[in-house]
Amino acid sequence: MSQRQLRLIVVEDHANTAEALKKFLKAVGYQVFVATDLASALSLASTVEFDLLLSDLALPDGNGWELLKRLSAERHIRAIAFSAHNSPADLQRSAEAGFIEHLPKPLSPEKLCAAIERAAMPA
């Protein structure tokens, strides 16, 4: 893992999944902030410094693609999408939105950590 502790915003609307992701990511050394919908993610992103956004695509008040578009209008955002929707069209839309990677749910801890490390590397 990198020298400096990476700060992650995780956007996940299912409380149990969000809590499990937070516990796991903290246990492996990341600083984690959790939002449960698009509105809280936008608010959180405006108040905390973060290195990487991890967002579910299906949110109760929008979607991860819209979230990344809105955040990217203000600054460059490094982001990973995760979703149960993994059709070729979904993967293409994630890439077009600016997500570095699109991971299928359920998330594999190993694949998630590897994706975070790849996404956190300087471009």
Residue type, 73: A
| Domain residue limits at 80 | 7-120
Q: What is the pLDDT of residue 3?
A: 54
Domain count, the chain: 1
Condensed to tens digits (0 to 9), the pLDDT of residues 58-116 reads: 999 999 999 999 999 989 999 999 999 999 999 999 999 999 999 999 999 999 999 99
Q: Is the pTM of this model over 0.85?
A: yes
38-57 confidence digits (pLDDT tens): 999 999 999 999 999 999 99
Q: Residue 123 has what pLDDT?
A: 64
Task: Specify if 95 maps to a domain.
Answer: yes
Does a structural domain hold residue 2? no
Sign for the CA dihedral angle at 10, 16, 19, 24 comes to: negative
Please say if the pLDDT value at position 117 is more than 50: yes
CA dist 86 and 77 (Å) reads 22
Instruction: Tell me how far CA of residue 88 lies from CA of 85, 92, 94, 102, 109, in angstroms.
Output: 9, 6, 10, 11, 23
Identify whether 1 is part of a domain. no
Domain of 75: which CATH number?
3.40.50.2300
- Indicate whether 46 belongs to any domain: yes
Residues in the chain: 123
